[in-house]
Structure 1
């Protein structure tokens, strides 16, 4: 594992920190490969119940390593396409992780960094966060799956505006366009992301996995397909030990296994 990606276990939560603060955690080849490996390992580790993704040094991720791109010399379109395989692997690792992922976005999330955050199930941002689909500023197009995720998160017209303009936007605009779930002070951001992740430790891993897979499929499926997935998923979840124990606790008036880490009603993200 590269030292540019730091992994820390906190009970059933895996905290993944991009650790190139001198480059605002830009994704060079080693970092991209290490992050992909960490996500695949989290997928295969049954003791990992949720993942928190963040960046070191007050920034989330400045995107691809543009300086490194400039040092690569002239390449043909075919060579450039082959080189995108590394980002394809990262994207499929994010998309294939059937466990909750919470992104804690502080500072900059530009280009591929914002694309990466869009794959999270929930995006929490600090009030100093700065985000941009910056690709058109340097004549490139969105990557890490952003052509797929962005319109699904913010709607097609807003996605076009963000991509075409390559403009920067802040935390509260991200909240208004449903790109962010909550806004927090920088010193509270990671603690809140971990609080949510730890609360999800108490949920059924099978039910979470089934729901994540179905919700991802829903925008490209019809009702009949979704009802079939619902029937199969409910049959599987209902037969689990978790469901049986939850029903027993409910009948016995014992505390539930799962309790969501809700925000106070006075928090600005609730308004």
Structure 2
């Protein structure tokens, strides 16, 4: 039997693939542990400049493994500890100092929806279906959705999606900003890799500072101070100096977003 998760590094891009067709790539214990190990490994590898997060066999992730949940036999304290274990690596993924691209084909339901939104840039296909499905089984959203979803669609729409537990198709997901773009299914992986590969030549410091500034939030005064601190660091970086020299010498820019 094939492993339900694959972790590969090619040309400075790490690809994390959920691959358990029988459960539509549900987040069972083995997959969660493998994701946690991969994210910890990426944090240690400075040569990895971007991450692609995806699912195999026509689906991204159907959510939590309900059979495992039903058989866990945990009390309130046990579930609290288990959630904290997930949050340790989920926080690391959301705050990773390198860009994360989700390539979402088919279902991204429940925790799978939360996992998709942990990325910085989400690419879908016309077959993409998203759902905050937790209320269907008497639960509240997890996998960071209380943090990520309102920041993308606003509090009112986030509450509507959470409380209705309705399915969102690809076109609506694009309108709401849940998806950044749509690609044909047979081009999804290539496009995700192209977006990830474009960051190989970006300034690591600038990328990290952008992600941190956006994640922190705060009022105007706090954000302007954060902006000043971040820009002063970026101004002294090798990435900035090299980019200026390329510009003055009329050389092509090293960072090029893929067309």
- The TM-score bracket by the shorter chain reads over 0.9
Measured in 2, the distance between the counterparts of 1:121 and 1:222 equals 22
Q: Where in structure 1 are there 5+ consecutive unaligned residues?
A: 263-271
The one of 224, 236, 243 aligned to 2:221: 224
**Residue 160 of structure 1, CA deviation:** 0.7
The total of aligned residue pairs comes to 258
Q: In the alignment, does 2:130 pair up with 1:131?
A: yes
User: Partner of 1:119 in structure 2?
Assistant: 118
**Residue 239 of structure 1, CA deviation:** 1.3
User: C-alpha offsets along residues 145-165 of structure 1, whole Å, 9 cap, x if unaligned?
Assistant: 111111111111111111001
User: Partner of 2:248 in structure 1?
Assistant: 251
User: Partner of 1:90 in structure 2?
Assistant: 89
Checking the alignment, whether the CA contact within 8 Å between 2:95 and 2:211 is kept in structure 1 is: no
**Residue 91 of structure 1, CA deviation:** 1.9
Deviates more, 1:232-241 or 1:149-158: 232-241
User: Partner of 2:189 in structure 1?
Assistant: 190
User: Partner of 2:214 in structure 1?
Assistant: 215
TM-score, normalised by the number of residues in structure 1? 0.91
What is the aligned-residue RMSD (CA, Å)? 1.4
User: Partner of 1:109 in structure 2?
Assistant: 108
**Residue 54 of structure 1, CA deviation:** 0.1
Deviates more, 1:47-56 or 1:2-11: 2-11
TM-score, normalised by the number of residues in structure 2? 0.95
User: Partner of 1:266 in structure 2?
Assistant: none
Checking the alignment, whether the CA contact within 8 Å between 1:33 and 1:90 is kept in structure 2 is: no
User: Partner of 2:8 in structure 1?
Assistant: 8
User: C-alpha offsets along residues 150-209 of structure 1, whole Å, 9 cap, x if unaligned?
Assistant: 111111111111100111111111000011000111111111111111112121011000
Deviates more, 1:36-45 or 1:121-130: 36-45
Q: Residues 1-271 of structure 1: matches in 2 within 5 Å?
A: 3-73=3-73, 75-218=74-217, 221-262=218-259
SS in 2 for 1:84: helix
**Residue 50 of structure 1, CA deviation:** 0.5
User: Partner of 1:267 in structure 2?
Assistant: none
Measured in 2, the distance between the counterparts of 1:200 and 1:150 equals 25
